Amino acid sequence: MGERYTRLPKSEPLMLQTSRRQFLKLGLAGLGIMTVPLLAACQGKGEQPAPASPAASAQTPAASGAEVVTVRFEGWNYEPALVEQNLKRFMELNPDIKVEYTPIEGSQYRQKIVAEFTAGTQPDALYVRDDYFAGWVTAGYLQDIEGMPGLDEAYGRIYDFNAAAMTYEGKRYGLPYYADIVAFAYNAELLEKAGIKEPPKSLEELEEQGKKLKSAGLVQYPIAFGFKLTNDFWYDWWGLIYASGARLFNDKMEPIMHTENTVARDVLAWIERGMNETGIVDPASIELDGGKVRDAFLAGQYAYILFQRYEMARANNPEQSQIAGKVKMALVPSLDGENKGTVGWTRMYCLSKTTQVKDAAYRLIYYLGGLDESGVPYTAKWWFMQRGLGFAYKELAQDSEIRAKLQTFVDPDIYSRQAENARARENVQEPWYSEWESENQKLMQQALTRQISVDDVMKGMAENAERFKKQYGA
């Protein structure tokens, strides 16, 4: 599935030629955190006026003899055949534009694009992940799209955390490709066998239910997390702490996880206790990535899981899951039983700063990430209907076709509700984010194996943040 569960190579020739400051800026240090596309779709509103020129011009054939403009477009290799199919439709609607599309192996995407920008061979339009978006802006790779046709309307209809993820220092740079969040799911059959009527709302309830499942001999470990030192470690962690309302930084990006707000500390302490004392968390979690946890859950090995929301389609598909039809979704449990959100992320389409065909390239990314002449996010809905990829447009949650498809594997209301309170990682747009995240994961592993205390982890997170900020000159 494209980018997901991949680890960056430990060395690259490009890295050896890059200064530490640039190394941090480009987001090449630490994790490569790569994920997979998710759901997209939207209810059309035919009564709304069409966006300005992108959608309108997308329906107007070029005048006879007009010059054909070539747009070079690159992205990671998720479903390239489907991408080409959609690009063919775009070119039929826009005969004055030819798109040269190049899919790149997901595990090499970041390095490949950085190498192209360094060599001056970059594409005109490209996929960008929120993890390294800010680094690429500050490196001079991307240009803002402020003032472009239809932009205001598109941004007015997407979730706040998606809009924020594509904005840097007050300027907007992208249009959404797909978006997802961390969700909580459970095996309803196992809970029923244990006499449990409702899924847990708090971590305390999750612990009590887990003990009940264990004592009944239904599972050895009720839950596992993907806490192996790989690119997907962060999903479970940020999902859990945001459900409890954690803040790791204040508005000045000063670390507060060890002083003013100790929610993250208490969540980590709960995980550590579950792994070493109560036995509800599989101690193998530190050796498992998210994919292995998911596969074990779908084989009936665990009762609960945190995973990307789009995985619900797989979980209830008999061809992919041994517990199909038994998996239900709930809000992520929190410390006090009141869910306050979850973590969300954004993948986007952007323009290179030096493109010589800006108008044509923008028409392409507006077709892919914006609205059509009827005010519908065509490509977003198309991706959902094709592969269940997650959407940034809020109104898609009420689209009749999307809801009908969702009902085949999940409650549409609980599915959509989770996105309403989703938050982007607080410091994901800091150039030092990836390296800071990588160091934190090492600290958490040490706490989970009781080599250091949970308090030491929080202090270490704060110290790492201050250290990396100074190294970068922030």
**High-pLDDT (> 70) share of the chain, %:** 86
Query: What is the per-residue pLDDT for 260?
Result: 81
Query: What is the per-residue pLDDT for 230?
Result: 80
56: pLDDT strictly greater than 90? no
Higher pLDDT, 459 or 135: 459
Higher pLDDT, 18 or 196: 196
pLDDT, tens only, 369-420? 999 999 999 999 999 999 989 999 999 999 999 999 999 999 999 999 988 8
User: How remote is the C-alpha of 445 from its chain's centroid?
Assistant: 23
Mean pLDDT across the chain: 88
Distance from C-alpha of 133 to C-alpha of 126, rounded to nearest angstrom? 12
Query: What is the per-residue pLDDT for 231?
Result: 72
Closest CA to 74 of 404, 349, 261: 349
Distance from C-alpha of 316 to C-alpha of 404, rounded to nearest angstrom? 15
CB contact at 8 A, 189 and 324: no
Distance from C-alpha of 439 to C-alpha of 443, rounded to nearest angstrom? 7
31: pLDDT strictly greater than 90? no
pLDDT, tens only, 325-383? 999 999 999 999 999 999 999 999 999 999 999 999 999 999 999 999 999 999 999 99
Query: What is the per-residue pLDDT for 447?
Result: 97
Query: What is the per-residue pLDDT for 46?
Result: 35
441-445 mean pLDDT: 96
**C-alpha to C-alpha distances, 234 to 215, 239, 289, nearest whole angstrom:** 31, 8, 10
Distance from C-alpha of 203 to C-alpha of 187, rounded to nearest angstrom? 17
Paired with 329 in beta bridges are 185
Q: What is the largest CA-CA distance in the chain?
A: 77
- C-alpha torsion angle, residues 130, 135, 138, 141 (rounded to 10): -80
Query: What is the per-residue pLDDT for 23?
Result: 41
Query: What is the per-residue pLDDT for 434?
Result: 85
DSSP state of 430: S
Q: CATH number of the domain at 29-179+345-423, please? A: 3.40.190.10
CB contact at 8 A, 401 and 98: no
What φ, ψ does residue 214 adopt, rounded to 5°?
Answer: -65, -50
Higher pLDDT, 41 or 279: 279
90-96 mean pLDDT: 97
255-261 mean pLDDT: 89
Query: What is the per-residue pLDDT for 54?
Result: 66
Query: What is the per-residue pLDDT for 64?
Result: 43
Count, residues in the chain: 474
Helices (H), 274-406: 290-298, 311-315, 358-369, 378-387, 400-406
Whether the full predicted model's pTM is greater than 0.75, yes or no, is: yes
CB contact at 8 A, 392 and 346: yes
88: pLDDT strictly greater than 80? yes
CA angle 139, 140, 142 (to 5 degrees): 115
Closest CA to 428 of 343, 308, 353: 343
Residue located via tokens 């390296």: 435
CB contact at 8 A, 264 and 246: yes
CA angle 304, 315, 331 (to 5 degrees): 45
User: Would you tell me how many other CB atoms lie within 10 Å of the CB of residue 285?
Assistant: 22
pLDDT, tens only, 103-158? 999 989 999 999 999 999 999 999 999 988 998 999 999 999 999 999 999 999 99
**Which has the minimum average pLDDT: 20-24, 46-50, 229-233, 302-306?**
46-50
Name the pLDDT band for 39 (thresholds 50, 70, 90): very low
Query: What is the per-residue pLDDT for 11?
Result: 30
3-state secondary structure of 1: coil
Name the pLDDT band for 32 (thresholds 50, 70, 90): very low
**High-pLDDT (> 90) share of the chain, %:** 78
Query: What is the per-residue pLDDT for 431?
Result: 83
DSSP-derived secondary structure for 302-339 = -SEEEEETTHHHHHT-TTT-TTTT-EEEEPPPBSSS--
DSSP state of 25: H
Name the pLDDT band for 29 (thresholds 50, 70, 90): very low
Domain residue extents for the chain: 29-179+345-423, 181-342+430-472
Q: Which two tokens stand for residue 319?
A: 């061809």
CB contact at 8 A, 213 and 187: no
Q: Which CATH number fits domain 181-342+430-472: 1.10.150.20, 3.40.190.10, 1.20.58.340, 3.40.50.300?
A: 3.40.190.10
Q: Which two tokens stand for residue 96?
A: 């004055």
Query: What is the per-residue pLDDT for 313?
Result: 93
